[in-house]
Each structure stands twice: as structure tokens, then as C-alpha cells.
Structure 1
Amino acid sequence: MHPETAGLAFGAGRSISWPPGVLPPLHDVCSVTRYTKPDWFDSIPENFNHFRGDKPVEEVQCIIPDMVGMSRGKAMPCEKFSPDTIYYLPDSLFYQTITGEYVEIDQIENQWMEKDIALHPDMSTACAAPWAEDVTLQVICDLKTRSGELVEVAPRNVLKRVISLYKEQGWRPVVAPELEFYLTKPNLDPNEPVEPPIGRTGRSASGRQSFSMVAVDEYGPVIDTIYDFAEAQGLNIDTMIQEGGAGQIELNLLHGDPLLLADEVFYFKRAIREAALKHNIFATFMAKPMRDEPGSAMHIHQSVVDIDTGANIFSDKTGGISSSFLHFIGGSQKHLLDVMPLLAPYANSYRRLNGRMSAPGNVEWSKDNRTTGLRIPICEPEARRVENRIIGIDTNPYLAIAASLAAGYLGMVNKVDPRPEATNEVWREGSVLPDGLAAALASFEVASDIRAVLGERFCTVFAAIKNAELTEFRREISPWEREHLMLNV
């Protein structure tokens, strides 16, 4: 065998030699050092094959969403991957704050044994990582214990738990998220304020230009790359618009299954960041990155259909509003205040929810009224839905969707009536949102009904992490304090 071709894989335990200077065909899947196509590759979506063309797949990333909603996992050469192989990570990755500090949780027995949890690749989620230099496949994994039970604290499993409760009632929830985010200049010094990006004209992006096509064109190359990445990943974009902030974009997704849409948001956030970096721009999903610009939300449109008939249960047989619709709103009004840490998870989140600058400060409801936390869009009976406008883009999409659906679920099963519809601008009137994370956590920690739906173990861990983050935040001395207090008091 020629030394350049020694050890090429061919089937199981066999090898094949090639003449000097000749490489295996480029259509081989895993790399030029592989000859046979693995059986699992037949289940890969066609858009991935279109993206890679005749290039071999070099790497597979087995990833999971952590408590923040960022990707963690393991990367490996393609030939080392199999969907039938179980990969492992320590459970301690769910015990960290946003800064990476580990949190001691008294209720977790033997917490620091750091037991392994099993990653089972969900091949239905496989897609490209188009920003990588080599052809890379990424796959979201289901998380189970070594004995095969779902890991309760894993955010993706929390959403699955809520969806299963709907299924037990013969219902199927449908959601459509809207993602708002900012493109900014690279912010290399955290002590300096975030600034809008420089557009093609050489000027900084300007605010108060909602729906302006000219404003979008200012950073057109970034938008083009986002579209390219979405196509390569098989992700569907409904619409993309300029929002009210300087450099602020809104990206709307098509409605569908909550788990599928949460996966798409998870993938989109990573893709948008990478697309921006390709052009030396940052993309940020902070809820309120700039003091004098609007915050960024993740509005979620929600409806529920009957599994057997496919009919939207928010409308009755005559096309009018149903009792289920009203009870979903009633449950949302009652329980969204209890799950605010999942909808607004950081101290910065509450800077957005001041009742102005396009963000509601309440859980009132109304038709076609953007000052209410719960807006009912004008639509046909089969598309009747509730838009939750409270949620920030800084949230974990799995947890935000789970929490919002859980509130509506409790309203329907317990037949909770809503308050009367708001008939004017409300902003911070009626039942208002908490002023900060401390107040939100106080409600969350005693909300027994919602904790039972989301899972007590998850809620215990989540609350401990948020309290630890709040303590870390309170220890910081801000630039405002240094500027105004150091020499003036």
C-alpha cells in the first residue's frame, strides 16, 4: 500500500489503496480519508447536502441548549460520530450563572459528584453550521440520565414536559416567535457604552426608522449573510424588518410546533451572531443594550388546536371567541407574573419593561393594542391567537415558550376568567409587571401551581442560579456611580 493511502477505511475493518497522487471521490461523506457513506447520512435533510455540494463533512457538533440558551456540547471528526452512540457531559453545566460561577444548591444531593448525563443525538434537528471553514454538521441532542429518564433541569425537556400536558388534554399548541436584536459596533471594553454600527454610507445607523428599507440597506451585507446561513440550515424566515432602534432588526418566524420553533430560535441566535462577525459587527440579544434606544423582545404568538380535528380551539363553531380563548388569557394574566424570571431573566431585562418605548408594563389584554402585554391580532377565526409581548429576546427560548404556554394551560384547565378587555392605552396600568428581578423571583419561588407544571427540580435550580446572578450584579459598581458619586458626594 502506498504510504499516502495507508489505513483508508473501507467498510468494517477493511481498507483500500489508491494509486499515488489519486484521492478518493469528493462525494464521500466524511472526508477524503473515508470511502463508504455511513448509514445515518441518509436521514440528513436535503438542504444540508445542497449546502455541502461535493465537499466532505469534516466535523459533527453534538450540542445542547444550556440554562442561558447558548450551545454547549462536543465536536468530533465526522468518522467518529454515530447517532446510535451516546455521548456524555457532566450535569454541573446546569449549575452555572451567566458569568460561569458555580452555584451551591442545598436541595441537590451530592451535587458536586458531577454525574454524567447522556446526549442522544436528535437527527431531525441536524443542519449545517455554515460559518465554519470546513463543512460542519450540528445536531441538537436529547438529554437523559444514565438510566434513561429525561433530565428534569434541561430547558428543552422543560418545554417537552409542557407540550405533553397539552397532549394529554387532546390539544396541540402552535407558536410563532418574533426575534428582535441589535447590530452594533464591536464593543471591546465593557465599560464603554454600546454604539450603533457604521453603515455603507459611513454613518452610524440611526433610530426611529421603523420599517425603513433604506435603514435595512445600510447593513445589507449582514442581512444577506443571515439569509444565506438560514437557507443553508433549512431555517424559514417569514419576514425581516427594521425596528425602532438604531441598528435594530426584527426577524419573524413561521408558526408551528413549539419544540421545532424553539430549536429554530436557538439555531438562529447562533447564526445571527456569526453572520454579524463575518462583517466585523456584533449582534446582541441583550434586552436593553443602549440607554436611549428601545429594548429587544421575543414576542410569541400562541394558539391551540384540537389534535383530532385540527381546529383552532380559540374559535367556536360560529367563528366567535371561545371559552378556551378567554381562559387562556385568564391563565396568562394570573400566572405570567409568577414566571417573569423565565421571561425576563436578568437585571437588564427590566430596563426594557418600563411601560414605554414599545414595551408593555402590564398583563392586560386587548385587540390590536400594542400597549398591552397580551395583544390579540386582527385575524380570521382559524388564526385567532394571543401575542405575548412581555418576553425579552435575552431569554432562553425553550423556557420562555414553556412558561408562556404553561400559564395559558393552567388557565384553560382551571377555567380562569380574564379581566375585562382594555379599551385604551394602558402602559403601566392595571396588573403591572414587577420592577426588577428580585421581586420577580419572590413571586416565582412561591408559585406552586406553575412550578408543578414546569417541574419542581428545574424551578429550584433555576431560582438558585438567578438569585446568585442577582447577587453578583449587585456587587458591581457602575460607570454612573463612578461618574456622579465619586467626587460629588
Structure 2
Amino acid sequence: MSDWNNNLPEAAKRYLEGRRLDEVECIVSDLPGIARGKAVPASKFARQDYFHLPDSVFYQTITGDWGEAAGDDGFIEKDMVLRPDMSTATAAPWTGDWTLQVIHDAFDSAGEPIPFSPRNVLKRVVDLYTAKGWKPIVAPEMEFFLVARNTDPLQEIKPMMGRSGRPAAARQAYSMTAVDEFGPVIDDIYDFAEAQGFEIDGITQEGGAGQLEINLVHGDPIKLADEVFYFKRLIREAALRHDCYATFMAKPIANEPGSAMHIHHSILDIETGENIFSGPQGGETDAFYHFIGGLQTHLPSAIAVLAPYVNSYRRYVKDHAAPINLSWARDNRTTGIRVPLSGANARRVENRIAGMDCNPYLGIAASLACGYLGLVDEIRPSKQFKGDAYAADEDIPRVMGDALDLFDGSKALHRILGEDFARVYSIVKRAEYDEFLQVISPWEREHLLLNV
């Protein structure tokens, strides 16, 4: 890798211009989306083509425990080969020295992609589209809360203190004054994003107290998933500089809206570059309807991936800005599947089900997988919903166990995401769910201790 310095993205080159690189963080996303890896001196990184991590990083639960997912060989923690994707090299501008981060891809000793590495799962789905002559385009929206420091898990999460000296207020969606309350944090988010070469399409105040949304410019699914992966760390670091936390929990504060990662999709014909959702005269095509049909049919089985924790299901509350069913409609934010206003070239389908707590690689992969099945199986959607979809029946699982049962039963989804991924994911998530069920909550102590 002697010439690796010459192959850096332009933003990384600008960041290092006139400076000496000290360290490189070699990272990979685990199932929850936590960056795992090693930090190495720049001189060592220049000499290495790969490094090793045990495959057990993909069997770890969010609590640090382990799912028994190692397979026939047993839990022997085999080494994986992690190879850098230098197109992902980007600054870590919050560090005390000059540091780059580089996302790596995971392979086994025979050179085959590790099937339960989240980035590899997304690559697998994109390759299926490519084989059909299609190029998927996505645009994720990232919602998150800025909250006061919370060092005691027994204490409720509270909104952060704004610039005015007052706690962040709720019910101020799209207020520029509310955005100004977080000005210093947002300034650092912009500065970090610029140093890392990321383009922000906009920042808005959402409906919750201290809740913000960042929109990213549409593009390649793998590149956008990389950016969301990086952005989560970037935003957390910016918040810590100002004595607050950034949280991507789906539902951090009771009686406030939850945080979603809405995913906009369109599909281009690789040969022509045209959007297959629009016909020659600009009308909606069969492919457009089939994609929606695939989402409606298969999203119930994918929700365990899009809503990966017990907390995720607290977000699906009627009249709290999150969907409660898989109805679809044009320009209607109460439905789980929305078709935004756009011209024919930009016609797209928005999946509003995914929570911001999902792994971005897996969330985008699962959503695209559902749409892909709709396209290849030519699934027709229900009729467009008219009116307020909160008045309709709920058809989204309300607890993690039910969602995992649906995921385990979906052979079609396993075929697209990969059988081995589906096996490992289910085992790890069931281990997490079992851990949760061992915890006795304050609600149980308050209402059951002396009353039952």
C-alpha cells in the first residue's frame, strides 16, 4: 500500500494538506452499527494490506454479551481478513492529532465475503439489482435528539439546555429559532461534515424537544450507508463538545415523537440512466407499483431489522409522527409508505418504517430487498389510501418477539439478504431480547409490587 496516500478522496487530501498524518482508524460496522476495529500508526497502515479481527464481533449483542451464532465450528473466534476500502477514507476531525478513518470489508481466510458483515449484506442486495440492469438510488433522512447528559440510567432522559439557558422546547417543528438554540452544536456538525467531505442537504427542527433532522443528498446505497455510519459518530462527537448527548434511540423521551431514518428509493435503468418508476410520458410505471407492493408484502418480515430493539416499537404510536400500518399514498405523511411530490425524473418511494436506531447498512439493505422482491415477483400494492392513515387498522408488530418470528419465517427475505446473515441476526437479536426480559422495570415495581 505504498501509494495509498495518493489514492485518498479529495476531502481527506485537503484535510491533511501541509500536515503529518499520525494515526489511521481501521473500522468495520458490527450488527448494531458500532464501529469496531483498530487504531494504528500511519506508518504501520502504509505497510499493511489488511488486518485481522475475530468473527465474534458480529455475534455481540448491544449489551456486550454474545449470541451463540458461531455455527458448526463452535465459538473459536476465527480471524477475519479486513481489507480497506480507500474510497471511504475520511477525517476524524474531533481527535487531538491528525487521524483518518477507513472503513474495511470483511472476508474469511479463503477470500469470501463474511455473509453477516452488514456492509457485505448491502453489497449483496445491490449486486442483485445490478444483475437485473438496475441501479438503486437512496436518500436517507436522519432524525436524532440532543439531550442533557444522562449518566444514571435510572433517570429519565431530558432535553438539552439551549443557548437561551432554557431546556429545548417541543412542538416547534421547522422553527428556525429552535434550530438556533442548538447553534454551537450544529456549527460543529457542519464543520466536521465539511472536513469529512459530506454534503448535508439540510437541517431542520423536528417535533420533539431537542429533535433535529439531517437530510443527505441522494446517491449510491453503499456510499450513503457509509455516510450515515460516519454521521452517527460525527454528531455524537459534536454534541459532547457542548456538554450534551446526541442519541439515535428510536424513542428516548416518553410522550415525544420518535426518531426515524426515512429512506427514499428510486431505481435507474443502468443502460439508459432513466428512472424506471416513470414512463416515457412521465406517468407511473408497473415497476413503481411493484416496488410499493414489495414493501407492503415483505416489510412486516423485515421490521426486526428496521426496528432492531425493544425500544424501537415504542415509536409506532398513533398520532406521534410515526406510521402504524403499511398503507401507501401520495404526499401523505400518515402512511408507512409515502410517495413525495416530485417531477417524473425524481419519482421516488419513501419508506417511513425504519427507526434511526437501525444499522444503516442493514436498514437500507432490508428496504431494498423488499422492493426487489416486489419488482421480480410483480407484486401489486393495495389501493392508495385516502385520508388519515392513523384512522386505519394497525399492521406493524408491536413487540420485538413478534417481529423476530415474522423475520424467521420469511424464506424470501432470507434468500435476498443471505441465509447465514438471517441465522446470525436472529440468534443475536433473540439473545438481546432474552436479556431484556430478565430486567424488571420501574413500571412493574410501581404497579405490581403491592397490587397483584
Normalised TM-score (structure 2) = 0.98
- Give the counterpart of 1:380 among 320, 336, 343: 343
Aligned equivalents of 1:111, 1:400: Cα separation in 2: 28
State the distance in 2 between where 1:113 and 1:64 align. 20
Task: Report the alpha carbon displacement of residue 448 of structure 1 after superposing the two structures with TM.
Answer: 0.5
2:108 to 145, 152, 176: 145
Map residues 41-440 of structure 1 onto 2, 5 A cutoff.
41-82=5-46, 85-105=49-69, 108-427=71-390, 429-430=392-393, 432-440=395-403
Amino acid at match of 2:61: T
Structure with higher RCO (Cα < 8 A, 6+ apart): 2
CA distance in structure 2 between the partners assigned to 1:186 and 1:484 by the alignment: 29
Q: Aligned equivalents of 1:219 and 1:330: distance in 2?
A: 40
1:59 counterpart letter in structure 2? E
Q: 1:45: Cα distance to partner?
A: 2.0
**1:177, distance to aligned residue in structure 2 (A):** 0.2
CA gap of 1:428–1:405, structure 2 versus 1, over 3 A, is: farther
Question: Following the alignment from structure 1 to structure 2, what is the Cα–Cα distance between the partners of residues 203 and 442?
Answer: 45
Give yes or no for the alignment of 1:39 onto 2:14: no
Q: What's the CA shift string for 1:439-485, capped at 9, x where partnerless?
A: 11111101001110000100010001111111111111112222333
CA contact (8 A) 1:216 1:241 kept: yes
Structure 2: unaligned runs, 5 residues or longer:
none
Q: Is the Cα contact below 8 Å between 2:336 and 2:351 reproduced in 1? A: yes
Whole-Å separation in 2 of the counterparts to 1:83 and 1:473: 44
How many matched pairs?
A: 452
Structure 2: which amino acid aligns with 1:341? A
- Counterpart secondary structure, 1:467: helix
Cα distance, 1:356 vs. partner?
2.3
Tell me how far 1:428 sits from its aligned partner.
6.2
Q: Deviations over 1:19-58 (max 9, x none)?
A: xxxxxxxxxxxxxxxxxx9521111122223223422111
Using the size of structure 1 for normalisation, the TM-score is 0.91
Q: Which amino acid aligns with 1:39?
A: D
Is the 2:2–2:47 Cα contact (8 Å) retained in structure 1?
no
Q: Which residue of 2 aligns with 1:479?
A: 442
Q: Is the 8 A contact 1:83 1:120 kept in 2?
A: no
**Displacement, 1:297?**
0.2
Question: Deviation of residue 358 (structure 1)?
Answer: 0.3
Q: Report the CA distance shift for 1:51/1:331 in structure 2 as closer, same or farther (over 3 A).
A: same
Taking the aligned partners of 1:82 and 1:150, their CA distance within structure 2 comes to 23
| Aligned partner of residue 137 in structure 2, secondary structure | strand
- Rg comparison, structure with higher value: 1
Distance 1:425 1:444 in 2: 28
Distance 2:218 2:144 in 1: 20
How far apart are the structure 2 equivalents of 1:398 and 1:460? Answer: 17
Provide the rounded CA distance (Å) in 2 between the counterparts of 1:38 and 1:450.
42
Whether the 8 Å contact between 1:40 and 1:83 is mirrored in structure 2 is no
Q: Secondary structure at the match of 1:387?
A: strand
3-state SS of 1:112 partner:
coil
CA contact (8 A) 2:294 2:379 kept: yes
Is the contact between residue 83 and residue 121 of structure 1 (CA under 8 Å) also seen in structure 2?
no
- CA deviation after TM superposition for structure 1 residue 219, in Å: 1.4
Task: Give the conservation status (yes or no) of the 8 Å contact 2:66–2:431.
Answer: no
Cα gap change, 1:412/1:61 in structure 2, threshold over 3 Å: closer, same or farther?
Answer: same
Confirm or deny: 8 A CA contact 1:406 1:453 kept in the other structure. yes
Q: Retained in 1: the 8 A contact 2:142–2:215? A: yes
Distance 1:65 1:433 in 2: 27
CA distance in 2, matches of 1:344, 1:448: 19
Is 1:461 matched with 2:395? Answer: no
In the superposition, relative to structure 1, how do residues 418 and 430 fare at CA in structure 2: closer, same or farther (>3 Å)? farther
Q: C-alpha displacement at 1:280, in angstroms? A: 1.1
Mean Cα deviation higher: 38-47 or 138-147: 38-47
Of stretches 167-176 and 108-117 in structure 1, the one that deviates more from structure 2 is 108-117
- Partner Cα separation in structure 2 for residue 50 and residue 125 of structure 1: 15
Letter in 2 for 1:93: V
Q: Which has the higher helix share?
A: 2
CA contact (8 A) 1:341 1:441 kept: yes
Deviation digits for residues 45-101 of structure 1, max 9, x if unmatched?
222232234221110011000000110001111000037511000001111111011
C-alpha distance after superposition, 1:143-170 (max 9, x if no partner):
1111110110100000000000000100
**Aligned residue identity for 1:402:** A
User: For structure 1, which runs of at least 5 residues remain unmatched after alignment?
Assistant: 1-36
Displacement of 1:430 in angstroms is 4.7
CA–CA distance in 1 between the matches of 2:167 and 2:315? Answer: 23
Give the distance between the partners of 2:451 and 2:46, measured in 1 at CA. 64
- For the residue of structure 1 that corresponds to 2:37, the secondary structure is strand
